Structure 1
């Protein structure tokens, strides 16, 4: 009699556990399906193979690749400018990422426009493709993928993940919001203000870029945590509205599967130069030696030949 009761109890537990796992699997499938639909709305195809590559990148073969991250201050009826410009090269064999922040005021040739101007104006003139062409020309490397984030709508993404906690280097007040030094928790509106302050930072644009990187890193961290599963609908909706990329869903799956170790070893670089007034306009001038040093670094990390000839135009 006792053995019969035990077997019956085990069957009940097993049935409940099976139902729970089936429900959870269905829940995960729903998340997977929702994310694939979100990727469709985020996807913005552009020219596939850069003229600076002999062969197309194959993520399934675990090739090194590059990504251009653009933080665009895009408002209603205004394309905006790419105030955040970060180039990342990813090498899975070296298990590392090289990250170069390009100051928005950097004076360079705007490819396709035929003028020298601030590098962030390339996006305003010709959108993502002109921004890519100009960055490729500046660093003499191929840009394989891009991720564009609308900074004006980024607050929706921060709110969707439930806010973020960051370590603030120094206290400051901006647009009526005070940000004390140390660990602070920010909602979407606060994070947007925190990312925009520039003139009170002794590091200027470099300081703002550093704060924006912190916000993006923490959003990714919060978004990947188990506690955000209940909010995945809001997160996907916010991403679909404010992020554009030429990465496909399958390519993102390949990166997650084959490249995640590289993300544990990120080397950040700031371009050295100096400010200069030209025709009463402020520019950031990068010496040719500094530019060539970065070009060599990134080409080696992408395992490219060093005899590429810089592109003049397309």
Structure 2
């Protein structure tokens, strides 16, 4: 009898050791996988996506982040193909305020006439990127609105379709109905994959608001990507998103900056407001420009600075 009890004890101990060994292997495997994701993200951001610009004081921005002060981020949507510097098709200032967990997206119409920083001539604001890249675009927007930008993010619009597809779909609240022959866009919530998203943001001819309406749809898509990206729970997809962003996105943030923003500013997406600068169209020497009055510039300046 004693031998049977001893045998059972040994059997239990053996199975306990096997169970612990399996758990240990699983924990180690999960740990290695998480570390590989972390390492891939860090290397992709720091080696492929990071671009420092002289027009932004990095040390000052870091002080703001450490104190969780409001931040302003310039978003540049660029139609850029191979061997082409591209022009900024979309310009938005995204303001993050962690004190009241709010985010504000202000669109600057691409035809807005303003002084281009470093050139001493007036031109369409979206030409700043074509003339001098991200640095000139940042300086021009800062000068135009008399605001301080802390980061910039440049997204190649050609990669937008792939990004949305990796997310699965995004949903926007569509305000006007139209049919482009391929897709039927009804009023209300519209779920879109990447190809449908591109059709949504590029339509202008059927929109009574023209380029203003297009800019509004671009804001809605950015908001949809933010909301969907924050809600995706599958860790197995993270590397896919990183790979897409690595070939289509550029920013002056490094990996540590992104971690700090996630920790201190992630709840700002809970309350998103948007606005588009207003002006009147005119032609100068045969070229169309949007003339934004000083009162409108001051209004947007105050919105961004909570003045």
Please give the range of the TM-score, normalised by the shorter of the 2 chains: 0.7 to 0.9
Aligned residue in 1 for 2:214: 208
Give distance in 1, aligned partners of 2:103 and 2:239: 30
Q: From the superposition, tell whether residues 49 and 76 of structure 1 become closer, same or farther in structure 2 (CA, over 3 Å).
A: closer
Cα offset, 1:109, TM superposition: 0.9
Unaligned segments of structure 2, at least 5 residues: none
Query: Mean Cα displacement is larger for which, 119-128 or 267-276?
Result: 267-276
Cα offset, 1:57, TM superposition: 4.3
Higher helix share: 2
Q: From the superposition, tell whether residues 97 and 183 of structure 1 become closer, same or farther in structure 2 (CA, over 3 Å).
A: closer
Q: Which residue of 173, 179, 183 maps to 1:173?
A: 179
Unaligned segments of structure 1, at least 5 residues: 302-314
Q: Which residue of 84, 87, 99 maps to 2:105?
A: 99
Aligned residue in 2 for 1:277: 283
Give distance in 2, aligned partners of 1:210 and 1:228: 30
Query: Mean Cα displacement is larger for which, 165-174 or 67-76?
Result: 165-174
Q: Would you say the 8 A contact 2:129–2:136 is kept in 1? A: yes
* SS of residue matched to 1:122: helix
Aligned residue in 1 for 2:132: 126
Aligned residue in 2 for 1:158: 164
Which has the greater radius of gyration? 2
Q: Which residue of 73, 91, 95 maps to 1:89?
A: 95
Give distance in 2, aligned partners of 1:92 and 1:167: 25
Cα offset, 1:143, TM superposition: 1.3
Give distance in 2, aligned partners of 1:26 and 1:221: 29
Q: Would you say the 8 A contact 2:56–2:151 is kept in 1? A: no
Q: Would you say the 8 A contact 2:80–2:87 is kept in 1? A: yes
Aligned residue in 2 for 1:237: 243
* SS of residue matched to 2:149: coil
TM-score between both structures, scaled by the size of structure 2? 0.86
Cα offset, 1:188, TM superposition: 2.3
